[in-house]
Structure 1
């Protein structure tokens, strides 16, 4: 029987959010993306992600990936056409959301094709969501468009057949720094069968302890402050 001392612990996953070619969400941050990539490399903080928030971020993203090749994931506008290119630029994995939901409707065919193109082990599915009633629905396009897919055990089981990891922002609390969505983190700990990283509402490292407790160490935490 696994004891509390022996079980996996939730870890901090770093992130580099890019907007108009600049690093966003680092308080007082004026350094280029390569600075943060090198910082994460220095501390061996693997499994972080670089997210392009809109156009004009390709150059900055490539700079970050070059600073620490094969260690950072890349997201933002990923499709089956450009995913191999980003892996070639040094991304460890590609993160995809909107491409899987043409007109907000989930396309299994697109997921299957992308998984086949890059390999299941190089694909992360972003299931960032908004709460609607007693459900969480996957949201896309800066979380403004709600899709037809619910975040639940059945959905995550199906998606995990084609990817190696999940990234999930709780969009309703993202950026507020007023606390995580505790119920969602608890459910993710119960539902997810593959590595899962949660973001949204975290204010300091005490939230990492909380995520570890709620998910029994099955969910990692990222935040950009």
Structure 2
């Protein structure tokens, strides 16, 4: 059944909510909806205290490792960690307390999907696909979706469709899919993508991008027949938003 899934987005060591498409190498391009005065561990404790499993901690660029590790200390075995995960450090993040690691860019050297890289990450995790989440965050292109990497700036050669989903499912326990063109804009979800994910995915999948309120949770539940979870970020009161309160989302999960 559809659940609200929380997040901790880290940028330069701080918890932030960012307009996804503006996260380029040029700091002048960055559009930030919110910068929290509270550390990542505060949100980890908040999620732990409210039993919100499946929260993802995303490190957007360098300078975020310490903040992510502090969050993991607060809720050991309760958070998923992504951003810069490779076959060299995946096991280390599990040892530091991540429930699962999330991979994107490492799967696409030079923007092209690498089966070898996928298998090397799984091997580093002892072959345990329950420890692995594949992030297929994407951007719209010619009325379809293609995986986007490097802070959602580089469009890869992988189209997000039934064939690609089915080819990856044997290697992971979940998918995380940000609709990067909707991320941080609070203008609503990509309805068509949510519908397709429900049709294509036979393992858990979390959609993020554009979620604004409880009505969007209801909408995702209806569109996906309860098969897709929703992350709400910028609209949430704990991230400076006015669309919905954290407590309302917690209570919605209990319905």
**Normalising to structure 1: TM-score of the pair?**
0.94
**Structure with more helix by fraction:** 2
- 2:106 alignment partner in structure 1: 99
Identify the match of residue 132 of structure 2 among 109, 123, 128: 123
1:176 shift after superposition = 0.5
1:28 shift after superposition = 6.4
1:141-168 deviations in Å (ceiling 9; x for gaps): 1111000001011100110110110000
1:143 aligns with 2:135: no
1:70 aligns with 2:77: yes
RMSD: 1.1
1:174 aligns with 2:195: no
After TM superposition, the structure 1 stretch with the greater mean CA deviation from structure 2, 123-132 or 25-34, is 25-34
Q: 2:82, 2:102 within 8 Å by CA — same for their partners in 1?
A: yes
Q: 2:57, 2:68 within 8 Å by CA — same for their partners in 1?
A: yes
Q: Name the SS of the counterpart of 1:166 in structure 2.
A: strand
- 2:116 alignment partner in structure 1: 109
Identify the match of residue 31 of structure 1 among 24, 34, 38: 38
1:27 shift after superposition = 4.5
Alpha-carbon distance in structure 2 between the residues aligned to 1:117 and 1:156: 22
Q: Name the SS of the counterpart of 1:160 in structure 2.
A: helix
Alpha-carbon distance in structure 1 between the residues aligned to 2:39 and 2:151: 23
Alpha-carbon distance in structure 2 between the residues aligned to 1:126 and 1:136: 13
- 1:10 alignment partner in structure 2: 2
1:112 shift after superposition = 1.3
Corresponding residue pairs, total: 217
What pairs up with 1:182-201 in 2 under 5 angstroms?
A: 182-201=191-210
Identify the match of residue 159 of structure 1 among 135, 155, 168: 168
**Normalising to structure 2: TM-score of the pair?**
0.83
1:147-201 deviations in Å (ceiling 9; x for gaps): 0001011100110110110000001111110000000000001001110000001
1:47 aligns with 2:54: yes
